[in-house]
Structure 1
């Protein structure tokens, strides 16, 4: 039997390294993530980590992978799905939930392409399901990318909202909205009073349904 590496003696794996990095980013933000700091979190030398992630870029790509892996269809889900609309809706909802759990990864997910083998495998499964449903390959890529970009943008706005909206009142209405003049903005003040159209999750569902239905309309036109 060969001699075990220092990382193996410490009980490490790539998954454990990435999960520890994700937890650190969740607590302190991506700016706090260094190989030395991550090594301290895992009680190993920073050099030990390079056995699992060969560079800082690989570590950052791995964080994006860990979040998207929670949302992209599993092999069984993709293979067993005959409803592409349900598959895309489930993906969008799962990705939003994953990003809201790990908002520190949002800047990375928005700026770094999905390049790890595990992430690319999951994207391939999604494209396979869409093309099997009748999407031309280009339309399938556009649909998956458009939906992903929408989720990233919407979730980034949700994560930033408390900081930019001002202190809410006792009902949870942002300060700027609560201060509107009803005579000048009657519909906006009614929205604030009744809660019509202000729920983030409701808005998200509305937009995802519109996008997915739009994909279906385009698919119908392409098939005509």
Structure 2
């Protein structure tokens, strides 16, 4: 005999459905609109029913970060194409963050430490290690690229909030600066065409990847991963 559902519980409700509904609510009305009661109303259940799927509000917020991470396919890496894989990952993550700007503050402030997120991280680290990075350097690569992308997305989101164009430089009063007092700033802002925010993103990302490649190829011998042990003398 099937178990009787509690009052307000809806058949087929899952953790994933709860997180998807929460993300849709935040996208539509902002993070401040998210509460367990409001989310329950969105799903047609009592707020207490949600605790069958998420432990508390904190777990719900962690789940929103998880949804952003899992929407980006883990990079496919090998020694000959790890840069292309990380490049694609960076652009995909930026796209995902820009699609959900109200979740960016959560991504900035909350570590992506749910089990699904950690599995993605583990897979990426394994691929980077197999591409020639020591395990600790692989982690540095992932954190560096991720933090760069998140910071860039946060800046773009803040500029959007003040109705500034984030894709092209808007020099405004900077063009009226005294060229004698600020010669380099004036010269830089008057160069046409300016590459804009996206161009600077690409420039910085390529510089990071080139630096990581130099570190990878200069490593004398990658340290063993967790599945290998150093040989004893």
The TM-score with structure 1 as length reference comes to 0.84
Whether contact under 8 Å (1:61, 1:116) holds in the other structure is yes
Deviant stretches of 4+, over 6 Å: none
Larger Rg: 2
2:160 counterpart (151, 156, 162): 162
Partner-residue secondary structure (3-state), 2:219 = helix
Aligned residues: 215
Distance 1:161 1:167 in 2: 5
Partner-residue secondary structure (3-state), 1:115 = coil
Q: Which runs of no fewer than 5 residues in structure 2 stay unpaired? A: 222-233
1:221 counterpart (218, 221, 226): 218
Distance 1:145 1:218 in 2: 16
CA RMSD of aligned residues (A): 2.6
| Residues 1:142 and 2:143 are matched in the alignment | no
Whether contact under 8 Å (1:99, 1:155) holds in the other structure is yes
Distance 1:25 1:174, change over 3 A: farther
Distance 1:157 1:26, change over 3 A: same
Distance 1:167 1:108, change over 3 A: closer
CA offset digits 1:115-142 (Å, max 9, x no partner): 1111111111100100001100010001
Alignment match, 2:193: 195
Distance 1:82 1:60, change over 3 A: farther
| Residues 1:173 and 2:174 are matched in the alignment | no
CA offset digits 1:146-181 (Å, max 9, x no partner): 1111011111011111345x667xx98364446556
Question: Cα offset for 1:201?
Answer: 1.8
The TM-score with structure 2 as length reference comes to 0.81
| Residues 1:207 and 2:207 are matched in the alignment | no
Distance 1:167 1:84, change over 3 A: closer
Q: Which has the larger share of helix?
A: 1
